[in-house]
Amino acid sequence: MSVVIVGGGLMGLSAAFHLRRADPQVAVTVLERDRVGAAASGASAAGVRVMGRDPAERALALESLRRWPELDRELDGDTRYRRDGGLRVAVDDAAWTAAPRWVDEQRADGVPVEVVDAREMRKLAPGLGPQCLGGVFCGIDGQAEAMPTVSAFATAARRLGARIEEGARVRGVVVERGRVAGVERSDGTRIACDVAIVAAGAWSATLLAYHGVSLPLETRALQMLLTKPAEKTLAPVLGCFDRKLSLKQLADGSFLIGGGWPALITDDAKNEWEILDASVRASRTIAATVYPATAAVALARSWAGLEAFTADDVPALGPVSGIAGLLVAAGFSGHGFALSPAIGDILARLALGLDAHDALWHRLCPDRFLEETR
């Protein structure tokens, strides 16, 4: 049996690792258009959270977070993961009033979140701004680092025998008599395979359209800011109700600031973007409101990643009706990083015809909004 994975981001690399670990006899090839992690995966804020997720992906997130504490051992690598919790704060009365209902709805699905008042909140994160009224804490949330995690998955997959080809652009999937027969490169050469996994991020829709499969994905560029190192004071990952904020302090003291502020896409085909001054200012303003220490630290660099968003902001995961052997993992809508261990395991199981934990992904199946014009 042979499997070709289109896309060398975290989802594709995780699938390659899980496939080779499950069955060393399966030939696995990963085709990456640039270099592994060059797009959204390497540009990620690298949050590892279950708090605040859509109900359709909560079980999947809980399964992934169960895996993260042992992931470095599984990969024999260093993702720089740590579990110091996640804290989402309220900076206005409306958000603070709504917090208990928000918590109750998630706890009903097994998400271990709790309301914390101003005093408890500041024990968890001393130095929060005076506008922070209280918050919601999730003790199993945490963070890793993007490129170290990509590298750990890539190295582990290669160690197990997966072939990873960089600079390998793909034109589309080859389909014969209603099933996958191979993958065609941009130069016209074909690689025969029994299963093709399209995990190509923002470029997934184009590849699927090659055979008339219309997957509604919108590409957005999301900005990330990294400051120079500062005194280490912040442990949990900070977010904010009704504001775009993801704030972490890395091991060297640098603050990593994200949350979904837009950058300008200048050429999506070439993965090119431009940072917007307005987004930088807005991102730094909310970060300083929640955690004033960030205001005094200069920026070291900024970047963006091209992300594929679905209409309902949860991913498309699973088989495509009408094409046997075609699997999709796309549209992670800016919050797929944490899901990568479980996603790779599910894709491997689906490819191998094993029990794929349907309860974790059935609500994410591409057929929920797929329009086929074949």
Q: The domain that contains 261 carries what CATH number?
A: 3.30.9.10
At position 85, the amino acid (one-letter code) is G
Say whether both 58 and 96 belong to one domain. no
- Its domain, for residue 252, covers 86-138+219-309
Say whether both 258 and 199 belong to one domain. no
Tokens of residue 183, six digits = 């993958």
Q: Has residue 71 been placed in a domain?
A: no
Under 8 Å between Cβ of 47 and 347: no
Please choose, from the candidates 215, 221, 255, the residue with its C-alpha nearest in 3D space to the C-alpha of residue 235.
255
pLDDT given for residue 61 in this prediction = 97
pLDDT per residue of the chain (374 residues) written in tens, 0 to 9: 999 999 999 999 999 999 999 999 999 999 999 999 888 888 999 999 999 999 999 999 999 999 999 999 999 999 999 999 999 999 999 999 999 999 999 999 999 999 999 999 999 999 999 999 999 999 999 999 999 999 999 999 999 999 999 999 999 999 999 999 999 999 999 999 999 999 999 899 888 887 778 888 999 999 999 999 999 999 999 999 999 999 999 999 999 999 999 999 999 888 899 999 999 999 999 999 999 999 999 999 999 999 999 999 999 999 998 899 999 999 999 999 999 999 999 999 999 999 888 889 999 999 887 654 34
Say whether both 170 and 262 belong to one domain. no
Q: Final residue of a domain: which of 289, 309, 329?
A: 309
Say whether both 301 and 156 belong to one domain. no
Quick one: angle between helices 146-159 and 10-22, nearest 10? 30
Residues 89 and 293: their CA atoms lie apart, in Å, by 16
Q: The domain that contains 366 carries what CATH number?
A: 3.50.50.60
Say whether both 291 and 318 belong to one domain. no
What is the residue whose two structure tokens read 């949350």?
259
Q: Has residue 74 been placed in a domain?
A: no
Say whether both 265 and 209 belong to one domain. no
pLDDT given for residue 213 in this prediction = 82
pLDDT given for residue 372 in this prediction = 41
Q: Has residue 78 been placed in a domain?
A: no
Say whether both 188 and 41 belong to one domain. yes
Q: Final residue of a domain: which of 259, 293, 309?
A: 309
Please choose, from the candidates 86, 198, 187, 59, the residue with its C-alpha nearest in 3D space to the C-alpha of residue 142.
86
* Whole-angstrom Cα Rg for the chain: 20
Q: Has residue 226 been placed in a domain?
A: yes
Under 8 Å between Cβ of 8 and 166: yes
Our count of domains for the chain comes to 2
pLDDT given for residue 373 in this prediction = 38
- The burial of 2, by beta-carbon neighbours within 10 Å (0-12 exposed, 13-18 middle, 19 or more buried), is given as middle
Q: Has residue 153 been placed in a domain?
A: yes
pLDDT given for residue 97 in this prediction = 97
Q: Final residue of a domain: which of 309, 329, 364?
A: 309
Say whether both 32 and 106 belong to one domain. no
Chain centroid to CA 261: 16
Say whether both 245 and 285 belong to one domain. yes
Q: Has residue 350 been placed in a domain?
A: yes
pLDDT given for residue 369 in this prediction = 76
Outline where the chain has alpha helix (H): 10-22, 40-43, 58-67, 71-75, 93-107, 118-124, 146-159, 204-209, 277-290, 340-352, 358-361
Say whether both 26 and 164 belong to one domain. yes
Q: Has residue 164 been placed in a domain?
A: yes
Say whether both 212 and 230 belong to one domain. no
Say whether both 203 and 316 belong to one domain. yes
Tokens of residue 255, six digits = 């603050």
Q: Has residue 72 been placed in a domain?
A: no
**How many Cα atoms occupy the beta-carbon half-sphere of 358 within 13 Å?**
4
Residues 157 and 79: their CA atoms lie apart, in Å, by 14
pLDDT given for residue 370 in this prediction = 65
